Structure 1
Amino acid sequence: MGEVTTFVASTVVSSSTKSTTIHVSGTSAGAETVLKSALTIEEEKAVKLSPEPAPAKEDVIVSTDEKGVLVATATAGSSADLAAVRTTTSTSPESKAVCKASAPGADGEDGDRLSQGHERREVSKWEFRIVVSIILFWCWANGYDVSNIANIQPRIYEQFHQIQFLPWIGLSYCSATFASFMFARQLTRCIDLRWLSVIGQVIFIAGCAISGASQSMAMLIVGRTITGIGGAILSLISYTYIAAIATPTQSARIISGIGVFWSLGIIVGGPIGSGFAENHHATWRWALYFVIIPTAITLVLTIPFMPRYTVHTSETSLVRRFANVDFVGVLLFMCSEALFSIAMLFCGPVWRWTSGASIATWVVFAVVFVAFILQQAFCIFTTPESRALPVALVFNRRMTPIWVASVCSGMSYGVTMYYTPLFFAFMRGMGPIKQAIRLFPFIFVLIVSLSLTGRLLPIIGRYKYVYMSAGAICLAAGASLTATLKTTVPDGQVLGLTALIGFGLGLHFLHGVSVSNAIHPSERDRIDGSLVGNIGLLGGISLSLMMAGSIYQNIGYNKLSHVLRGQNLTKAEIQAALAGVSSTQIFSNPDTMRESLDAVCDVLARLFYIIAAAGAVCLICGVLMKDEKLDFQKSTEKEEDEESARPTQQ
């Protein structure tokens, strides 16, 4: 049992003084966390500390005494995380609310009390349904946008050329979303989520409009980057609402629904985008404009129907909330991500690996990234509560394997989604629409697997074995594709193996956030867990695209240029052929066509090593996860008991 600490906070409101006493068994730092999470103070607050004995209970009792003073009492281990304490006020001295506090101790003790009472915000049933509907509809629009851009790249290249920038059309969105997550998290602590959602949708629409109207490749990349920033805000808002208002069981189902609707958007994005791109009157520009329509619909629904919601912080003043934003950490993270993307995509295709530009970019990236790590570790120009990255939640023996597995799921998704169509483009000569159709087995099985896992995970509870199964399946399917992918391989075999990847992917794609929501009783920890889970997923997608793009362009160029030596082809022409946007000259020559196709197929096969490696890492993470059973249903029941025990405010 740790030291017992009492906090007394006084607030002056309209010339009257309100006092709150909180008894905490734990470290002073833990008690301070309880105080900051439990109190909503309008004006200045004064805090005093004094030791007092604590009752031998595990519950956190929140009640009012005969004088109307609100008292919360808790006991836990010395390293307790009691941020979940929720206080209420009442004029009735008999009124009480009970919140179970999760108290993770040292390694090996953090799983003894699982799925205890979870704090959540009250919303009506119709508000809950509207929030979920808006979130799912927007996820469909986002899925369409991601799939659409991958299918219209050949037509964009025909207009702007500049093959060295073509990979940035797809990567700029993912990278901008990934880089903006931490800033979006900071904004959720400053602005009401309804209006922040409006801002995010306006940014998303503006980015789509700029992309569609772009007159150069650079302008198109800027537009996609703006779209990604809006996407980051909307994604984090979606998960924040889920963390705040959904029970663990509801959370698992909604998050699997997000994956399903995103995948449905991907299904329609390919054919619709390709249809626009192949139409000489509409062109690829209307493929980008089209997503404005569903986003505008969600915007219209958001303003009147989305419930107002503000994330709890220790500050109530808007100015003070913005003053607490970790701008230094956010800027360092964005810069390090941008530098890493530039280094991965420009070294080789644009710069020689030994050139000064390549070396300088890698050196600057390393310096900025180390600066970010040190700034977050030692809270330079920030505080532990306000720093951009929730370090304690990331580097946690219980949660770290889950976050790493989220990265693995993103990597498997990115390679399968973006490079499987290239196989059918080169080896079978298929156009964009037929390429998109060949992805249907992968996406349909992914949808089924996502849905089943979202339904069964709350029943099974043992997420460890779900992740182990996911890793083993992705490892086997990725290794099989690498070993068997040849120009003569039957289409059915490729489709079957990609469908198997989809099944394994559906077992752990997005579900890390569901597990985090079930583990953490604190609203703040659930929101931070959503941030880390999304960073892992989008980071995995971005990392896989950068790695695969670098391997494909560098090794593919070397192999193809060796086969085509003596044909006087420029570097740009060979790179365009590798990108699948201009291959008529190269692959129409009967003397070199077979060797060229074999070279490209060999490089594509190597990319599936990334999926095999990601599956192996996911399997290892599953083995390292704590063997525990999360009782989602028990969590929900206790939350409902807590709701009925909550006193009515006067």
Structure 2
Amino acid sequence: MLTSETTTPLHQPEPEDRSRWVALVVLCTGMLMIVLDATVVNVALPTIQDDLGFSQSSLAWVVNAYMIAFGGLLLLTGRLGDLLSRRGMVLAGLAVFSGASALCGLSQSDAMLVVARFVQGVGGAMASAVILGMIVTMFPEPREQAKAIGVFAFVASAGGAVGLLAGGVLTQAISWHWIFFINLPIGLATAVLALRLIPADRGPGIDRSTDFLGAVLVTGALMVLVYTIVSPAAQDGWGASSTLLFGAGGLVLLGLFVAREATAATPLVPLSIFRSRAVTGANLVQGLAVVGMFSTFFLGALYLERVLHYDALEIGLAFLPTTLLMGALSLRWSEVLVMRFGARRTLIPGLGLVAVALLLFARSPVDGSYWVDVLPVMALMGTGAGLAFPALMNLAMSGVEPSEAGLASGLVNTSAQVGGALGLAVLATLSTGETDRLTAAGEALPQALNGGYHLAYLVGAGVLALALVVAVVVLERDPAPEPVAGRAAGPVRTDLVCEPA
């Protein structure tokens, strides 16, 4: 792919020390642009609906089209980055994402916007799937790697809150079109700097033995499963025939993919990667933990809008403490805590704080005060996420061979996207059902809405408790902290591999 440049193997980090950190900022800027796009649209949906004439049922496809393409292609694009070129995959993804963003901003019909959002999701998957793998290979030394992953984790987990604020500001100050147009200068600048700062790389390439059948099966399975979650399940219910049909189809494709990978000579996703308890446990915890985060970002935003009557900008500002605390912990303290106590010991209290935040939100009244009922939740959520997600990223990438870093990166992103989509669909359905029940029982609409949100928060807290159990049971214990005063803690273990039974 990159024949005119001097290439280096994927596993050799070449940039000078300062250039590596600048390159990290460049990669994370591109990641932030992609991650916040998943939520920046939410606060603008009412305006988009009025402007382009969306029906209430079709409006969800502005979000769903992006999520189906993004979640469905992460594993495939992560592995293709390993086989071809990670830098090339990022650059191609930025080009597709930026071009699709322009089409989104120029959309004059509902169909044009939905199609452009799907293409935008394709570009987002291409660019983001391999970024974490690139960071791991650029920073092989444990302490530097923990710090770099902390930066990435902040961007990946706080992007949703940043998107709510950015969407509110742009929609109210200019127009909804600019939530997409703003991606063009950011994408162009990121691509130019990536070309200059990130060395060209080349993987082993695609040949006749490449697992094309596995690629088709896993992409089809993930797209069908995400579609099932965001469309028939959310609209018709989990017991509807359409939900069961598409869900069964997705599971059959997934089963065929696993069978194919177990027998393929050069599998797209080597199943041996799941022998690592760190990788398997971290992905399970990631998929469960984002359920709680999504319930806060999405249903919490609805509580602020529909019960407390905040406008778009006020909603974004309400989430600002979460973003600031996540940033302070992820950027400044995550590396210190992970190196001192270990990733598992840092993860567990973080998950506990997120669960407590959801329990607090489940007592928020219809006449709630921001300072009493919302701010403490945002503070606990930001602190818990700032502790948990950098530790999760460290665990998910530990024990992974450099040649599989892109795959592991795509895997942890897929866990977040599919877990978030599933969690949001389940919690939104439960919330709507409880609201309908309370309304039928004679409750006023604000009380009925709030009752539905409370149920969703309680279920989210229960899912976080399950994530805590998985973290305790599946993840291996960290090495004992260094007892000698004044002496640096030992490096994070990267050999947490469970031997085959």
TM-score by length of 2: 0.85
Tell me whether 1:254 sits opposite 2:148 in the alignment: yes
**SS of structure 1 residue aligned to 2:130:** helix
Aligned-partner Cα distance in 2 for 1:334–1:163: 29
* Cα distance change on mapping 1:614 and 1:445 into 2, 3 Å: farther
Residue of structure 2 in register with 1:68 after alignment: none
5 Å-filtered alignment, 1:9-408, equals 120-159=12-51, 160-246=53-139, 247-261=141-155, 269-278=163-172, 282-311=174-203, 313=204, 318=205, 321-347=206-232, 350-351=235-236, 356-376=241-261, 378-379=262-263, 382-383=264-265, 385-387=266-268, 389-408=269-288
Whether contact under 8 Å (2:100, 2:117) holds in the other structure is yes
Q: Give the Å deviation of 1:441.
A: 2.0
Q: Secondary structure at the match of 1:487?
A: coil
State the SS of the aligned residue for 1:509. helix
Q: Which runs of 5+ in 2 are unaligned?
A: 1-8, 482-487, 495-501
Judging by fraction of residues, say which structure has more helix.
Answer: 2
The residue aligned with 1:623 is 472
Note the alpha carbon deviations across 1:136-178, whole angstroms, 9 max, x for none: 2213323442342121111112132221133332343334222
Q: Give the aligned residue type for 1:196.
A: M
Match of 1:436 among 316, 321, 324: 316
Partner deviation per Cα, 1:55-76 (whole Å, 9 max, x = no partner): xxxxxxxxxxxxxxxxxxxxxx
| Structure 2 CA distance for partners of 1:428 and 1:458, relative to 1, 3 Å | closer
Structure 2 counterpart SS, 1:503: helix
Give the drift of 1:271.
Answer: 4.1
Distance 1:151 1:444 in 2: 20
Does the CA contact (< 8 Å) of 1:344 and 1:550 recur in 2? no
Asked if 1:603 corresponds to 2:452, the answer is yes
Shift of 1:558: 5.3
Give the Cα separation in 1 of the matches to 2:330 and 2:456.
24
Residues 343 and 362 in structure 1, CA contact (< 8 A), matched pair in contact too: yes
- Choose between structure 1 and 2: higher strand proportion: 1
Give the structure 1 partner of residue 418 of structure 2: 539
Report how many aligned residue pairs link the two structures.
474
C-alpha spacing 1:294/1:500, structure 2 compared with 1 (3 Å)? same
Does the aligned pair in 2 maintain the 1:470–1:615 contact within 8 Å? no
Any conservation in 2 of the 1:474–1:611 contact (CA below 8 Å)? no
Q: Which residue of 2 aligns with 1:613?
A: 462
Q: CA deviation at 1:258?
A: 2.0
> CA 1:238 to 1:438, structure 2 compared with 1: closer, same or farther past 3 Å?
same
Q: Using the alignment, how far apart are the partners of 1:272 and 1:352 within structure 2? A: 32
Say if 2:62 and 2:117, in contact at 8 Å, map to a contact too: yes
Q: Distance in 2 between matches of 1:126 and 1:528?
A: 27
Alpha-carbon distance in 1 for matches of 2:214, 2:248: 19
Aligned counterparts of 1:559 and 1:218: Cα–Cα separation in 2? 36
Match of residue 484 from structure 2: none
State the AA in 2 paired with 1:628.
Answer: D
> Cα distance 1:323–1:189, how it changes in 2: closer, same or farther (>3 A)?
farther
Comparing 537-546 with 511-520, greater Cα deviation is found at 511-520
Residue 623 of structure 1 aligns with an amino acid whose one-letter code is V
Residue by residue, what CA displacement relative to the aligned partner does 1:599-628 show, whole Å, maximum 9, x if unpaired?
A: 111111111134312321221123222123
Higher relative contact order (CA 8 A, sep 6+): 2
User: 1:595 is aligned with what amino acid?
Assistant: A
Between structure 1 and structure 2, the one with the greater Rg is 1
Deviation at 1:209, TM superposition (A): 1.7
Partners of 1:413 and 1:517 in 2: CA distance: 22
The CA distance in 2 between the partners of 1:558 and 1:162, in whole Å, is 25
Check 1:459–1:494 CA distance in 2 against 1; reply closer, same or farther (3 A cut): same
Letter in 2 for 1:214: S
Q: 1:354 to 1:235 in 2, by over 3 A?
A: closer
Q: Is the 8 A contact 2:146 2:394 kept in 1?
A: yes
Q: Which residue in 1 is equivalent to 2:497? A: none
Tell me how far apart the structure 1 counterparts of residues 209 and 331 of structure 2 sit (CA, whole Å).
39
Alpha-carbon displacement from aligned partner over 1:351-392 (angstroms, at most 9, x marks no partner): 47665434433332333233233333x33xx33x432x3422
Between 1:355-364 and 1:183-192, the stretch displaced more is 355-364
Deviations 1:542-590 (A, max 9, x none): 2222223333444445555x37xxxxxxxxxxxxxxxxxxxxxxxxxxx
> Would you say the 8 A contact 1:409–1:509 is kept in 2?
no
Q: How many Å separate the matches in 2 of 1:169 and 1:295?
A: 21
Give the Cα–Cα distance (whole angstroms) in 1 for the partners of residues 233 and 64 of structure 2: 17
1:274 partner letter: G
Alpha-carbon RMSD across the aligned residues, in angstroms, is 3.0
Is the CA contact 2:230–2:422 (under 8 Å) kept in the aligned structure 1? no
- CA contact under 8 A between 2:14 and 2:138: conserved in structure 1? yes
In structure 2, C-alpha distance between the alignment counterparts of 1:148 and 1:262, rounded to whole Å: 14
Partner of residue 496, structure 1: 376
